Chain A
Amino acid sequence: MAEVTLDTRPLVREAPPDTRGPSSPQSLTALWLGIGSIAAVLGGTIALILNYELSPRVLTPSCIDLQLTREIRGALGVCNFVEALRSSAETAVLLIGIALGVVAMTFGWSIRGRMDTLRRREQAITGAILGLQGVFIALVILAFREGRPDLFAKNFLNFAVIGPYFPGPFFSAIKNTIVLAFVGEAGGIVIGMVLAVLSLSTRSAARAPARAYINLFRGTPLIWQLATGYFVLLLGFDIRPSTFLVAMGIFALNTGAYAAEVFRAGIQSIERGQIEAARSLGMTYLQAMRFAIVPQAIRRVIPPLMNEFVILIKDTALVVVLGLTTSQQELFAWARAGQSDTFNATFFTAAALGYLVVTLPLIRLVNAVERRLRSGLVGIAGATP
C-alpha cells in the first residue's frame, strides 16, 4: 500500500508568553501590605519565641506563680514560651499585623475592580487575602494568650520531657508504623487482586463470597476488626498470637477489601473494546486480562492505592487497642506509653510530627503521579512508558 496519510506534525513544545501585563505601584502596595501583615504576625511571633528560647534566661516570678518551678522538667522552656507570648513586643507585633492586614484588605479589595491588567488585579486580590489571613491569625494568637498558654505549653509543647524517649524509641516507632502499614498494604493488594477477579465473575457463586467479604470489612470499624480478630484467634482457635502479627493480618484483610474495589473500578474503567479485541485474537480470558487489561488498569489504580496507603499509615494508630510490647510500639503506642509515664501530652504532638514526616512526602508523590496521569504522560492516549 502506498502511504497516503500526511504524517502528523510533531507538536512544538514552547512555553506560552506571559500575558498578565505589568504591575502598578497601587497594586504592589496592596500586595506588600498583605505580605507585611502575615510577616509581622507569623514572622514576628516566631522570632520572639526563638529569641526568648535561645537567649540565656531564668525562671521569672510570674512563671513560678504559675507552678512552673525548677523541679518540673522543661519548665524554663515553657516559661520562655509564655513570657514571649505575653511580652509587650508581641502585643506590638500583633497590633501592627492587624493594622497592616485591615489596610491590605480594604485597600486591595476596593481597588481590584479598577485594575486594568491581570497582574495588577491578582496582586490587589492576593494582598487582600493575605491581609485577611494576617488579621485572623493575629486574633487567634491574641485570644490564645489571654487563656492559659502556660498550661497548654506545659502539657503539649514541652519537648524536654521527650528526652529519654528520643531518638531511639521514637524512630523505632516510626519504623514500626511503616512496617505495619507496608505489610498491610502489600498483603491487601494481593488479597484485593483475588477478590477483584472474583467479584468481576459472571457467576454469582464466585461473586457472592467476595462481596460478603468486602462488605464485612468495609462495613465494620477497623478498631472492631482488630479487637475481634485477636479474640477470634485467641478464644475461637486457641492460638496465642503476637499482637503485632494480628495487627498486620487485620490491616491486610481490611486493606484487601478496599483494594478489591479499587482494582475492580480500575478494570471496569478499561473500554470494553480492549478485552473484545484481545479475545477476538484468540486470547483466553486470563491472557486478555494479563496482557491487555491489567497493564492499563495498573496505571489507573496507582493513585487510589497510594491514597489507601496514606490512610493506612494513620490507621495503624488503632493497634493501641491490642497492646504492644515496647519494641513493637508504633508511633501512637509510643506516644501513649510516654504520656502515661510522664503525664504529659507533648508525646502526641511529637507523634503527629512523626506521622507528617512519613505522610507528607507520600502525599506529594501521590499528587505528582496524579498530575502525570492527568496530563496523559502515562495515560491511556499516547502511552509512552
Chain B
Amino acid sequence: MSEIRSAPMPPPDEEPLIRMDGVHKWFGDNHVLRGIDVSLEPGEVEVIVGPSGGGKSTLLRCANLLERPTLGKVWFMNEDITDIRCDLDAVRTKMGMVFQQFNLFPHMTALSNITVALEKVLRLNDAEARDRAMEQLQHVGLEHKADSYPGQLSGGQQQRVAIARALAMTPRLMLFDEVTSALDPELVGEVLGVMRQLAEEGMTMMVVTHEMGFAREVGTWMVFVDGGVIAERGRPKEMFANPQTDRLRQFLSKVL
C-alpha cells in the first residue's frame, strides 16, 4: 500500500511480517503482475480471490520467490528477500507453501515427506524429526497414516499431510494456493477445517481460494486480483456486502 511505502519506520508491533512493494512480473512479454502492494501483519489472514489467469498464483509465488519479481521488492521479517544476496533457502524455511496438486514426494511415506526437510534442512536428528513430524500429523488428524505412501491416501489426506509438512518447519507465514481445488467435494471440508484451525491459532496466512464461505469467515483481509493488479482490498464481509467495482460485482455474482 502506498502509505506504507512513504511512511517512516513504523513501531515494531505494527511491523508487517511480509510486504510486497510495487511487484511486477513479466513472463516473456506477458505482463502478468502490474504493480502489487501487499502488507500483512502477524496473525492476519489475507484471502486472495479473482478470476482464473488474473495472476493470483504468480502473486503468491513471488512472495516466496519461486518466481522472482521482475520489478519491485518483497520484504519478509524485515529483510529484503529480493536482494540477490539474500539466502532464499533460509527464508523459505520460515515461509511454508501448500499447492493445489499437493506435491507430496510419492516415493516417501507421509512421515518421511515431513522428516526429510527437518533432517536435511533444519539438521534435526532422527528422533527429533520424527517427534516433530508425528506431532504435526496428529495436528491434522493423520497420525495413523504415518507409514502410508501418498498413493495410498485420499486427496484430502494428502493435502493435510502437505500442510503438516509445511507446518513442521515452524514457518512464520503460510501460503496456500487453491489447496482445495483438486479435491473431490466431499474432501474439501476436512482441509478447510485444518486451515481454519490454523488461523485461529494465530498463523499468518496468504490464501488463494475459491471457497467464498471460508474467505468471508476466516479472512482478516480480502484482495480481489484481476488483470495483474489488486483491484479491490478490504474486510471480506464488507467486500461481499458492498463491492466497489463492477468487476468484483461480476465475479461475486458468478462464484456465489
Interface residues of A (CB under 8 A from B): 1-5, 7-8, 271, 273-274, 276-284, 287, 291-292, 295-296, 380-385
Would you give the shortest CB distance from B175 to chain A, in whole angstroms?
8
Residue pair A1, B194 in contact (C-beta under 8 Å): yes
Would you give the shortest CB distance from B182 to chain A, in whole angstroms?
11
Binds A, one of B34-42, B75-83, B100-108, B216-224: B100-108
* Docked CA distance A295–B96 (Å): 23
* Docked CA distance A296–B113 (Å): 14
Query: Which single member of A5, A8, A277, A385 contacts B105 (CB below 8 Å)?
Result: A277
Given A280-B96, A292-B105, check contact A1 B197 (CB 8 Å): yes
Would you give the shortest CB distance from A76 to chain B, in whole angstroms?
62
* Docked CA distance A382–B158 (Å): 12
As a 0/1 sequence over residues 126 to 169 of chain B, the CB contacts with chain A under 8 angstroms (1 = contact) are: 00000000000001110000000111101011001010011001
* Docked CA distance A284–B103 (Å): 17
Contacts of A280 in B (CB 8 A): 64, 66, 92, 95-97, 166
Would you give the shortest CB distance from B167 to chain A, in whole angstroms?
11
* Docked CA distance A5–B188 (Å): 10
* Pairs A–B under 8 Å by Cβ, sample size 24: A1-B140, A1-B190, A273-B99, A276-B66, A276-B99, A277-B162, A279-B66, A279-B92, A280-B66, A280-B95, A280-B96, A282-B89, A282-B90, A287-B120, A287-B121, A291-B116, A292-B105, A296-B106, A296-B107, A380-B106, A383-B106, A383-B107, A383-B151, A384-B152
Q: Which residue of chain A is the closest to B151 with respect to CB atoms?
A: A382
| Residue B189 lies at the interface, judged by CB distance under 8 Å to chain A | yes
How would you classify the secondary structure of chain A's contact residues: helix, strand, loop or mixed?
Answer: loop
Would you give the shortest CB distance from A186 to chain B, in whole angstroms?
24
* Docked CA distance A276–B150 (Å): 17
Query: Which single member of A2, A283, A382, A383 contacts B117 (CB below 8 Å)?
Result: A283
Would you give the shortest CB distance from B183 to chain A, in whole angstroms?
11
Q: Which residue of chain B is the closest to A284 with respect to CB atoms?
A: B89
Contacts of B180 in A (CB 8 A): none
Query: Which single member of A274, A380, A384 contacts B103 (CB below 8 Å)?
Result: A274
Query: Which single member of B66, B101, B106, B120 contacts A291 (CB below 8 Å)?
Result: B120
Q: Which residue of chain A is the closest to B187 with respect to CB atoms?
A: A5
| Residue B53 lies at the interface, judged by CB distance under 8 Å to chain A | no
Given A273-B101, A281-B169, A282-B169, check contact A385 B190 (CB 8 Å): no
Residue pair B105, A4 in contact (C-beta under 8 Å): no
Q: Which residue of chain B is the closest to A1 with respect to CB atoms?
A: B141
Q: Which residue of chain B is the closest to A380 with respect to CB atoms?
A: B106
Contacts of A292 in B (CB 8 A): 105, 116
Residue pair A381, B151 in contact (C-beta under 8 Å): yes
